[in-house]
Structure 1
Amino acid sequence: MISFSTDDLRPQDRFDHWCEVRGKSLFGVTIELERERRANFHGRFSAVTIGNAVVAEMTASSYRVGRTPADIARVASNSLSIGYQIRGPGYVDIGRGQVHRIREGDFTVSHSEQPFMGTPERSDGFHFRTLKIPLSSDILLGARAHDLAPGTLDGNTKFTRLIAAMFAALSDPHEPAASPEDDVQHIARLALLARGRLATGLPESRAALRAGYLHAARAIMKRNLHRPDLSPATVAAEIAISLRQVHVLFEPTGLSFARTLTAMRLEEARRQLQTMPARSVAEIAYACGFDSIATFYRVFRSAYGMTPGDVRMNSLNA
């Protein structure tokens, strides 16, 4: 993992370093900021490799950023970029009079060699996450991607929801993927499906959809662990698939929906036991969706070979 902050530099050096090292050399972009605002510039950056892709995250002061033909020639990259605008709306000009507004929470998809100019809407900084995926014939399956100019995804489509779920999982260090290379391929194909470049009937497209639905289902389960009544029907209704399809999603994992949910609840309970000493065992059990203390103790001991109290004591003595 690469991590960098301008806090370690002298104020007068921060913007120039960010512009030259992080902008031109690493991302192949040109950054512009009024000279009178440069002394107050701050930026943080991190990047981690997942499979053959890179997830990068930035929080920084507002500035204009563009990828010019000269930038593309200097730092060429045949990659698909999936961006998530967490904070700081703005506008992206892709030429020919086409300007898109990027709202907070929007996802964008583009090819890395398409020029653009981005302008912030506000001056209070931004938070942005991007997944850069090298393209290959195995991913593209004959689809055309080199002309994908930056464009936002419709937030109401199933593709965007599945991309959001997979993006969140790939970006979460606490959710290691069983097969990161496969997940990277799946999210790339979902992005191509969302931009109308792949046919939905291809076997690889169907596999990408199944992977996306599985991540979306797990995200719903994680968000609702506290609900004892959480069921496959609840998940099916939220992601608009059949109850049978929900069960089929979990078959390749080797764990049923019920066993997956129990494992997630146990892991969260163990985390709380280790990090929340003021909270009683019973409070934690109920907060994680167990409706019986006896059941909680039984399945916890079966899973970890010790009682909840043992886990808490070990964490206190560590």
Structure 2
Amino acid sequence: MYRWCTDEVEPHDRFDFWREVRAKGLFGVTAELERERRADFFGEFSMRQLGNGTLVELKASSYAVERSQADIGRAPGDSICVYQQLGGGGWFGGMRSSDFAIANGSFATSHTDLPYRTKPLGTGGFHLRILKIPVSGLAPQDKRMRELAPKMFNDSGLAPLLDACFADLGEVAVSDGSSEAAPLVQALGHLALIERGLVRPGSRRGQGALRTARLSLARRLIARHLQDPDLAPTQVADLLGVSVRHLHMLFEAADRSFSQTVTEERLKQSRRLMREAPERLIADIASACGFESLATYYRVFNAAYGMAPGDFRARASEAR
């Protein structure tokens, strides 16, 4: 993963460096900011190749961005971009379709080689993720992909799926789990094409994207409700909007059943709590992680790790 921050540059040079080297040279856009505001400019980003896509997370002070025909001619991308707004809001304009504002937590898509202008709403600046996927890495090869001007997602049913996939992709980027990235990148790309009407949800590619995204969301729903000792497939299936049978099929395809996933997540959380709160009672940790009894927790923990929770805690303390 490549990371960069304007702290590496002298304050009086920060915006000029960002504009010429980062914005124009790396992202192929033109950046503008009033001269009197440049002394306080701050920007940082991370960039990582994942599967056949590139994931960028960017934070920066407020400034104006344009992707002009000259920028496109100088640095063509021929990729589909999926944007996730992480803070504040943003405005897109200067294109064939209508201008629009994108709120915190919302998503948008575009083809890289169509002109646009964008800037943050308010004074909070930019905070967003961008997944860039080459058109050549997506199917079908449809010439309409190159006509996708920036547009916000309007299908509210897809938003939780996109959010789960982006969250998983961010964790993969941090943990260097590159082998897990490819299906997430493809799922996000095809979900974008579903929303734009270029892939049918019932097609093989559409169904594959929805399966990957639903599994990501199901795992996050499990993590959100671990403390409930009665957590059951019916509860997660209802939250996910699918049948219990479909939910079980999602996990079977991932080589780990629903119940195995719940147990594994509870054990992982209990280990984290023992490391982070060494003074906390083990019985309290077991309850907080949704184990129905302390005896069950000891039995499951020993079966998974070959030691009692107390022994794990002692080793973790010695390693500090």
**What is the TM-score when the length of structure 1 is the normalising length?**
0.94
Contact 2:109–2:192 (8 Å) recurs in 1: yes
Secondary structure (helix, strand or coil) at the match of 2:197 reads coil
Distance 1:267 1:176, change over 3 A: farther
1:254 and 2:255 are equivalent in the alignment: yes
Match of 2:161 in 1: 162
- Partners of 1:174 and 1:254 in 2: how far apart? 21
Contact 2:76–2:113 (8 Å) recurs in 1: yes
Contact 1:170–1:177 (8 Å) recurs in 2: no
Match of 2:33 in 1: 33
Contact 1:94–1:150 (8 Å) recurs in 2: no
Superposed displacement of residue 96, structure 1:
4.1
Contact 1:250–1:257 (8 Å) recurs in 2: yes
- Partners of 2:122 and 2:90 in 1: how far apart? 7
The amino acid of 1:148's aligned partner reads L
Contact 1:94–1:149 (8 Å) recurs in 2: no
Contact 2:82–2:188 (8 Å) recurs in 1: no
- Partners of 1:284 and 1:96 in 2: how far apart? 56
Match of 2:106 in 1: 106
CA deviation string 1:204-239 (max 9, x = no partner): 211111111111111111111111121111111112
| Structure 2: gaps (5+ residues) | none
Contact 1:170–1:176 (8 Å) recurs in 2: no
CA deviation string 1:261-297 (max 9, x = no partner): 1011111111221222232212221111112111111
Contact 1:266–1:300 (8 Å) recurs in 2: yes
Q: List aligned pairs for 1:6-25, cutoff 5 A.
A: 6-25=6-25
Superposed displacement of residue 123, structure 1:
1.4
1:302 and 2:319 are equivalent in the alignment: no
The amino acid of 2:219's aligned partner reads R
1:187 and 2:178 are equivalent in the alignment: no
- Partners of 1:247 and 1:3 in 2: how far apart? 39
CA deviation string 1:16-75 (max 9, x = no partner): 111112101111011111111100011111112211211111111011111111111111
Match of 2:229 in 1: 228
| Structure 1: gaps (5+ residues) | none
1:271 and 2:256 are equivalent in the alignment: no
Aligned-residue CA RMSD (Å): 1.7
The amino acid of 1:271's aligned partner reads R
Secondary structure (helix, strand or coil) at the match of 1:250 reads helix
- Partners of 2:93 and 2:231 in 1: how far apart? 44
Contact 2:51–2:178 (8 Å) recurs in 1: no
- Partners of 1:175 and 1:253 in 2: how far apart? 20
- Partners of 2:90 and 2:41 in 1: how far apart? 18
Contact 2:48–2:55 (8 Å) recurs in 1: yes
Contact 1:160–1:194 (8 Å) recurs in 2: no
The amino acid of 1:215's aligned partner reads S
**What is the TM-score when the length of structure 2 is the normalising length?**
0.94
Contact 1:84–1:108 (8 Å) recurs in 2: yes
